Amino acid sequence: MDYLEELNSPQREGVENLDGPTMIIAGAGSGKTRVLTYRIAHLIRMKNVDPFSILALTFTNKAAKEMRARIEKVAGTDARSLWMGTFHSVFARILRSEADKLGYPSNFTIYDTDDSKSLIRSIVKEMGLDDKVYKHNVVYNRISGAKNNLISWQNYLNNPLYISEDEQAQKPKMGAIYKEYVQRCFRSGAMDFDDLLFNTNVLFRDHLDVLNKYQQRFRYVMIDEFQDTNISQYLITKRLSSVHQNICVVGDDAQSIYAFRGANIQNILNFEKDYPDLRVIKLEQNYRSTQNIVNAANSVILKNSAQLQKNVWTDNDSGELVHLIKSTSDNEEGRLVASSIFEDRNNKKLQNKDFAILYRTNSQSRSMEEALRKMNIPYRIFGGLSFYQRKEIKDLLGYLRFTINQNDEQSFRRIINLPKRGIGASSVDKIVIAAFENDKSIWEVLQNIRNFLPGRTANAVENFVNQIKTFKIKIERADAYETASFIAKQSGLLRELYDDKTIEGLNRYENVQELLNAIKEFVDTPGQEDKSLEAFIADVALLTDADKDDPNDTDYVNMMTIHSAKGLEFRHVYVVGMEEDLFPSQMMLNSRADLEEERRLFYVAITRAMEKITLSYALTRYRFGRLKSCEPSRFIEEISPEFIKVDRKFNNPEPMGSLNSGVSGSNYARNLVAQRKVESNKVPPGKKLHTPSADFAPSDTRKLDTGMRVEHPKFGFGEVKKMDIEGANRKATIEFENFGEKTLLLTFAKLRIMD
């Protein structure tokens, strides 16, 4: 085959040995994805394997999408019927078709992390526990950890280890919360992310006929990024492949960075035990990076204690040494990185998309954004707050989800009083408790609401119920797009957003339109047979921003966390915020294992670079709005001296002059967007300034200034006399024509600027 010519011998071994258990240990940049795609293409073209019986599992949607495209290039469109996707999406699909066996409806709702956490909060509150002790994050992680280790709530309550750990942590009720949480999800007809894997295990354990069906079907199973799978995921694939034994896993222990989600390097070691006649292939030649980059990365990972024997090397040029940029502040760091990109781009004739800025936490993008904007360098941020996490999107999705599944408690809580219908929190709690005490579903209680609530609120609820009923009828008769637009209009959500002439309101309105467009696109997709709303909603919780539009033809500097950079490569990479406590993260430094995971993360960051890697750190950085001094990361010193260009004597932080924090980056961006909208007359005169949510309060006070005339819904017209900042709260003192001088908190004040 033509494509085999391009491969080196271990790569070729990986492509050609198709039967039996195989483990490919693939060093960074060693052509792992290429081997995996050619392997699949080879199965289809050489062995005539029906793509329908191949299952390829990846860790992220991005990886799945990319690999599918590459396979289609090699193997043609036959590859379309291939089962390829993330663990979560593939098994969600299987669970939907087998849901009845587990007592779930096939249109079960998928709870995302926010849904899960808010359910946990209501449970903790209802149980009368202290939410300072049972913090929703901690509880969520505990439950998630148990599920990923396949510990059911019944097991949990009988497990001496978990019990004693909880006693030790002064959280004895943890098991009880777990139990209630699982039961509530079940009653809601909902699964969280971990349930998708946990329940697949239950399904395959308790229903051997079902297991057998899929075992027969998937003759070849492949797993990418194997080092990031957890026990729950591993056991599913082990069960699936136990008949044909054609399982191939590809991974790199040095790049395992998801232990916090239950990923376990131990899986790689267990794999050898579970499959004694395992074929192990090592890909050690790096095609991606220069010698200096490979060597620098190797010298870092050497500091870790546990790793598989492996020697990553390269034939490439030695290239430039690792660069180091030192700045006095995070803002200066931004400027230096931006001007470095600007220079390299011009001198080396590179494009913006050849550059990537990587950071440990999403919040670090701020100072970079600002600097790039000032230098007119286009950029694109991956990750961060996902489109689907936005309030207005979740609100509409809440309506859509509830129309499909009226038992979904979280959607119910979200939309019951939205727009306001006079049904407050206490009424909502009464409804949920009534459902629980009478062993009825929420929907049943809603339909007989007069038995539970007094007249006025009951009227409001009845109107709500009738509305949902009309939505349900619409769903039967119309496609996803028609139904969703109908619901968006009839529910009043669209109206409310339309009436909000704030810049933010305008954006929210556009976002909802964008969601409707996405649904339209879904309906119009050729080959999309099921055009129902149900089909669209099914996987929405599993989508992330990476799946949304991906303008390949545009030229942007890439910005993302190191985690989301996994699997990608760029000619020039900047790793910013190389400071102790930030990277390695302070929260991770509790045990040695955690430090080693941070170090692997650093390894991943370095090995993304093809030609040049630059590390950058600042001596001061804003945190919680306060200027803090920082020390260079210990990781910088861990790079062997011969590979890095640096004065090893780090200076102590210099005394700072007065630093102007300026406008925060995202607000700066929003201001620019806002400005553009004003210029193009998209904002009507007399625009409303402040939103009732705290979304946009502080930086907007810049635009409201002394001397401006404003209108307040209650106090009428007035003139701004004074702007003030008191603690975290922004205030304006306004002289009203009819009410005299008032000082207003801007977080909530709905003011319009009069032109």
Partner DNA sequence: CCCCGAAGGTTTTTT
Partner DNA sequence: ACCTTCGGGG
Q: How far apart, in whole angstroms, are the C-alpha atoms of residue 708 and residue 754? A: 8
Q: Which of residues 302-331 bind DNA (CB under 7 A)?
A: none
The residue from 227, 256, 340, 564 that contacts DNA (CB under 7 A) is: 564
Q: Which of residues 581-620 bind DNA (CB under 7 A)?
A: 585, 587-588
Task: Quote the distance between the C-alpha of residue 500 and its chain's center.
Answer: 29
Q: How far apart, in whole angstroms, are the C-alpha atoms of residue 599 and residue 301? A: 7
| Beta strands at 355-359 and 570-575: parallel, antiparallel or unpaired | parallel
Name the segment binding DNA (CB under 7 A); options: 53-61, 312-320, 438-446, 523-531. 53-61
Helix (H) or strand (E) holding 652: none
Using H for helix, E for strand and C for coil, what is the string for 542-592? HCCHHHCCCCCCCCCEEEEEHHHHCCCCEEEEEECCCECEECCEHHHCCCH
Among this protein's residues, is 78 annotated catalytic? no
The token pair that represents 191 in the structure block: 């699964």
Nearest residue to 611 (alpha-carbon basis) of 314, 312, 321: 321
Q: Minimal distance in Å, beta carbon 723 to DNA?
A: 14
Q: How far apart, in whole angstroms, are the C-alpha atoms of residue 491 and residue 17? A: 57
Active-site hit among 180, 225, 545, 598: 225
The residue from 213, 348, 420, 722 that contacts DNA (CB under 7 A) is: 420
Active-site hit among 112, 194, 224, 408: 224
Helix (H) or strand (E) holding 723: strand 716-726
Q: Which of residues 646-685 bind DNA (CB under 7 A)?
A: 661, 663-664, 666-667
Q: Which of residues 107-126 bind DNA (CB under 7 A)?
A: 113
| 748 touches DNA (CB under 7 A) | yes
| 383 touches DNA (CB under 7 A) | yes
| 232 touches DNA (CB under 7 A) | no
User: Which CB, 242 or 693, lies closer to DNA?
Assistant: 693
Task: State yes or no: 30 annotated in a binding site.
Answer: yes
User: Which CB, 282 or 600, lies closer to DNA?
Assistant: 600
Q: How far apart, in whole angstroms, are the C-alpha atoms of residue 2 and residue 22? A: 24
The residue from 3, 52, 186, 260 that contacts DNA (CB under 7 A) is: 260
Name the segment binding DNA (CB under 7 A); options: 25-33, 442-450, 522-530, 727-735. 727-735
| 137 touches DNA (CB under 7 A) | yes
Task: State yes or no: 33 annotated in a binding site.
Answer: yes
User: Which CB, 61 or 507, lies closer to DNA?
Assistant: 61
| 73 touches DNA (CB under 7 A) | no
The residue from 264, 298, 427, 507 that contacts DNA (CB under 7 A) is: 427
Q: Classify the C-alpha dihedral 529-534-535-536 as positive or negative.
A: positive
Q: Minimal distance in Å, beta carbon 234 to DNA?
A: 15
Nearest residue to 3 (alpha-carbon basis) of 30, 27, 39: 39
| 285 touches DNA (CB under 7 A) | no
Name the segment binding DNA (CB under 7 A); options: 21-29, 208-216, 441-449, 541-549. 541-549
| 240 touches DNA (CB under 7 A) | no
Among this protein's residues, is 501 annotated catalytic? no
CB contact set of 620 (below 8 Å; sequence gap of 6+) = 328, 329, 330, 627, 628, 629, 630, 653, 656, 659
- Residue with structure tokens 């910005």? 559
The residue from 698, 719, 733, 754 that contacts DNA (CB under 7 A) is: 698
Q: How far is CA 157 from CA 134, 146, 164, 174, 200, in A?
A: 17, 11, 11, 9, 22
The residue from 357, 744, 751, 753 that contacts DNA (CB under 7 A) is: 744
Active-site hit among 33, 447, 490, 733: 33
| 502 touches DNA (CB under 7 A) | no
Among this protein's residues, is 705 annotated catalytic? no
Positions of E strands within 602-715? 609-618, 620-623, 626-629, 709-712
Q: Are 567 and 63 in contact (CB under 8 A)?
A: yes
Among this protein's residues, is 539 annotated catalytic? no
Whole-angstrom Cα Rg for the chain:
28
| 46 touches DNA (CB under 7 A) | no
Task: State yes or no: 32 annotated in a binding site.
Answer: yes
**CA geometry: angle 672, 674, 675, nearest 5 deg:** 65
Write the burial class of residue 443 (CB in 10 Å: 0-12 exposed, 13-18 middle, 19+ buried). middle
Task: State yes or no: 411 annotated in a binding site.
Answer: no
The residue from 699, 709, 721, 735 that contacts DNA (CB under 7 A) is: 699
| 89 touches DNA (CB under 7 A) | yes
Q: Which of residues 167-196 bind DNA (CB under 7 A)?
A: 193-194
Helix (H) or strand (E) holding 371: helix 365-374
Among this protein's residues, is 132 annotated catalytic? no
Q: Minimal distance in Å, beta carbon 37 to DNA?
A: 20
Binding-site positions for ATP: 26-33
Active site residues per annotation: 32-33, 224-225, 255, 608
Binding-site positions: 26-33
